[in-house]
Structure 1
Amino acid sequence: MATGKSAVGASLAARLGWTFVDTDQLIVQRHGRISMIFAQQGEQAFRTLEARAVAEVLGAAPATQVVSLGGGAVLDEGTRTLLGGARVVFLDADLATVRRRITRDRSRPLLAGDPVEAWSRMDRERRPLYESLANHVLDTRGRSIEQLVTELIEQLQLNQNKGGDRHGA
């Protein structure tokens, strides 16, 4: 959460000439603001919508598409299974990197109250899932979106030159 997935994903897609899909934005377009869904229906209802959106997007994803998932999408076992057949990038961020974003942005319902403590707790819970799914890990500390995208493209090309990874190229 707040690691720059949408910004990096959109920039990567633009540089590659691919399409970009953000599952959180897809949910907002179809169902309204995420904070409103949480307030009116609860987190579980949001997670159900999220799992459906992810399944739809990943099920139809062409090889030339970059998909940004919400930070909690990996909590769903079905989503984790789907991600086993995709190339997954983990944007590894520490608290110092995301602190300013999470303390300014009041639209994230899971960060209500003490956003630093909430983010730290979620990071501890989710990090093992992210790490287990990732084909590529990018350390985001002190790096611009363009630097991250350039490094990721280099990793993808290196992997492709070595014969691809478990997901092809």
Structure 2
Amino acid sequence: MTTILHLVGPGGAGKTTVGPYLARRLGWAFVDLDQHFMSREGNIDAVIEASGYLGYARRNVAVYREVRSALTRPTVLALSSGFLTYPEDVDAGYPTLRCAIEIDALTSLLLPAFELEACVEAIVRRQLSRPYLRGDSASEERRIRERFPKFMAMPCARFRSDAAPDDVASQIERFMRR
């Protein structure tokens, strides 16, 4: 099986920013699950609007499986922001898949802070600075407040993403090589 280092965390945590730096440091490929989803399914907001969040989540789990099965070399894979927070019944095999990712020794959680209020402030600021997102302050804050405890409960390695992307990548690389 191909070696995968999963980058997990909320939107705005730095997964797609840090991921390419980390992949270069390791000499691995980099894959952004959201990019693969959009190339196959179209705009995420449009899919959610047409199929509902659960419909999007089901399709995203399927796209993850397709991407994972196509990997042929070690890869840094940035997961979608909510991927590990979907409802258990989103897919018959999802609970097992989620557990396997969470406990994998190479799974790395990125958060700009490990304290709720500092994390909320940073995530909302980052998300609202993205012109392609249609979110508003209240919805972004609600989302990170809901997901933060779920992320903090994950048994994977945690990294603060409030430093320069190459510095964060260096920290993850050192952890990974130990």
**CA 59–84 in structure 1, closer or farther in 2 if over 3 Å, else same:** farther
In the alignment, structure 1 residue 121 sits paired with structure 2 residue 122: no
1:100 aligns to 2:119 (yes or no): no
CA displacement at 1:44 relative to structure 2: 1.9
Cα distance in structure 2, aligned partners of 1:59 and 1:73: 17
Matched, 1:91 2:99: no
Q: 2:170 aligns with which of 126, 146, 150?
A: 150
Q: How many residues align?
A: 153
Query: Does 2:67 match 1:49?
Result: no
Map 1:24-43; keep pairs closer than 5 Å. 24-43=34-53
Unaligned runs of 5+ residues in structure 2 are 1-10, 89-93, 113-118
Distance between the aligned counterparts of 1:63 and 1:128, measured in 2?
A: 33
Equivalent position of 2:98 in the other structure: 80
TM-superposed deviation, 1:123? 1.8
Deviating more after overlay: 32-41 vs 14-23: 32-41
Distance 1:34 1:106 in 2: 15
Q: TM-score, normalised by structure 2?
A: 0.74
What's the RMSD between the two structures over aligned residues? 2.2
CA distance in structure 1 between the aligned counterparts of 2:107 and 2:45, rounded to whole angstroms:
26
Deviation at 1:82, TM superposition (A): 3.5
Letter in 2 for 1:95: V
The answer to which structure, 1 or 2, has the higher relative contact order (CA under 8 A, 6+ apart) is 2
Measure the CA separation in 1 of the matches of 2:60 and 2:141.
Answer: 22
Shift of 1:60: 5.4
Q: TM-score, normalised by structure 1?
A: 0.77
- 1:136 and 2:157 aligned: yes
Whole-Å Cα distance in 2 between the matches of residues 67 and 4 of structure 1? Answer: 13
Secondary structure, counterpart of 1:42 in structure 2? helix
Q: Please give the per-residue CA displacement for 1:72-93, whole angstroms capped at 9, x wherever unaligned.
A: 1012331413414532111112
Q: Displacement, 1:12? A: 0.6
Q: For 1:30-87, what per-residue CA distance to the aligned partner results, in whole angstroms no more than 9, with x for missing partners?
A: 0111122123332222111111122333455567211101111012331413414532
Q: Secondary structure at the match of 1:138?
A: strand
Give, in whole Å, the separation in 2 of the partners of 1:134 and 1:120: 24
**Aligned counterparts of 2:138 and 2:171: Cα–Cα separation in 1:** 30
Evaluate the alpha carbon distance shift between residue 84 and residue 53 of structure 1 in structure 2; reply closer, same or farther with a 3 A threshold: same
Q: Work out the CA distance in 2 between the residues paired with 1:134 and 1:8.
A: 21
For the residue of structure 2 that corresponds to 1:71, the secondary structure is coil
In structure 1, what is the Cα distance between the partners aligned to 2:17 and 2:164?
10
- Compared with structure 1, are the counterparts of its residues 107 and 45 closer, same or farther at alpha carbon in structure 2 (3 Å cutoff)? farther
| Distance in structure 1 (CA, Å) of the matches to 2:73 and 2:147 | 27
